[in-house]
């Protein structure tokens, strides 16, 4: 548990540790699920955690408050901050190097990660954003629009104000991954966010995958999963060296 219970639900976390005595670099992963569903043991989380552990990194994944269970967007962001702060306090227990911690998120989890990261500037060495939401107001198709309204309210201006595009920037290096055939979050959102950061002189690397959909880690046996995981681990190993 990384904080006290909320609404009677214990906030649980899982830890993956690499071989060796440490101190280890590490990455904290935030799961996706449209702010409404999902959990720390989802298939993409296990896949990325395994890849990072094999690359010599310790990993934390955790549950956070969801809107379908009475949570709010700001509470989920607070949970991300709490998880990273707790992880930073566990260096002795898990043989962690507190100077080499990254934060990553997938889809809605990437949105939460980017909203939380500016509050964690002193804790983080790098961040990874995987098929994330950057402008909640820009989700205007089908179920994505409904989830955006549930998470951030009915007012488009307010939804945009609560989005990463309007948040204080993370000054640490950021890796952005997105597929060009993402029908949930258009790749244009990722490209615009990368351009926004680069125009501000913030260190940003993009990996855009032609023909790939949203949630491409959902099928671990697909070639894109191995390729993207290799991109993530190689980039993290360099930044956390």
**Is residue 185 scored above 70 in pLDDT?**
yes
In this structure, whether the domain defined by 13-239 belongs to CATH 3.40.50.300 is answered with: no
Q: What is the pLDDT of residue 5?
A: 58
Q: What is the pLDDT of residue 239?
A: 98
Q: What is the pLDDT of residue 179?
A: 99
Q: Which two tokens stand for residue 131?
A: 């098929």
Q: What is the pLDDT of residue 64?
A: 94
Q: What pLDDT digit, counting tens, does each position of 44-68 carry? A: 999 999 999 999 999 999 999 998 7
**CA distances, 100 to each of 114, 189, 239 (Å):** 18, 29, 8
Q: What is the pLDDT of residue 97?
A: 98
Whether the ω angle into residue 114 lies within 30 degrees of 0, i.e. cis, is no
Distance CA 22, CA 58 (A): 9
Q: What is the pLDDT of residue 82?
A: 95
Average pLDDT, the chain: 93
**Is residue 7 scored above 90 in pLDDT?**
no
**Is residue 149 scored above 80 in pLDDT?**
no
Under the banding of pLDDT at 50, 70 and 90, the label for residue 8 is low
Q: At what angle do helices 73-88 and 108-116 cross, to 10 degrees?
A: 70
Catalogue the E-assigned strands of 63-203: 96-106, 126-130, 174-179
pTM value is: 0.94
Top pLDDT among 190 and 147 is at 190
Q: Which two tokens stand for residue 2?
A: 């990384």
| Domain residue ranges in the chain | 13-239
Q: What is the pLDDT of residue 91?
A: 96
Q: Which two tokens stand for residue 232?
A: 């993530």
Q: What is the pLDDT of residue 143?
A: 66
Distance CA 220, CA 197 (A): 30
Under the banding of pLDDT at 50, 70 and 90, the label for residue 158 is confident
- Mean pLDDT value of segment 89-107: 97
Q: What is the pLDDT of residue 217?
A: 97
Residue 148: CB atoms within 10 A of its CB come to: 27
């Amino acid at each position: 548990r990384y904080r006290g219970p909320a609404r009677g639900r214990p906030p649980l976390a899982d830890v993956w540790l690499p071989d060796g005595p440490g101190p280890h670099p590490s990455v904290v992963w935030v799961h996706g699920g449209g702010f409404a569903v999902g959990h720390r043991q989802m298939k993409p989380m296990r896949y990325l955690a395994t890849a990072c552990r094999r690359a010599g990194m310790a990993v934390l994944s955790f549950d956070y408050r969801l809107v379908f269970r009475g949570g709010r967007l700001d509470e989920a962001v607070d949970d991300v901050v709490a998880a990273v702060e707790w992880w930073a306090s566990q260096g002795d227990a898990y043989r962690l190097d507190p100077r080499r911690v990254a934060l990553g998120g997938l889809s809605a989890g990437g949105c939460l990660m980017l909203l939380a990261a500016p509050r964690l500037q002193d804790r983080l060495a790098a961040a990874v954003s995987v098929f994330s939401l950057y402008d909640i107001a820009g989700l205007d198709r089908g179920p994505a629009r409904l989830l955006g309204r549930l998470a951030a309210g009915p007012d488009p201006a307010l939804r945009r104000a609560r989005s990463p595009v309007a948040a204080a920037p993370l000054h640490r290096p950021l890796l952005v991954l997105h597929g060009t055939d993402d029908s949930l979050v258009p790749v244009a959102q990722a490209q615009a966010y990368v351009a926004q950061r680069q125009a501000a002189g913030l260190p940003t690397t993009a990996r855009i995958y032609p023909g790939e959909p949203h949630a491409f880690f959902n099928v671990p046996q697909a070639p894109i999963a191995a390729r993207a995981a290799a991109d993530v681990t190689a980039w993290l190993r360099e930044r956390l060296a």
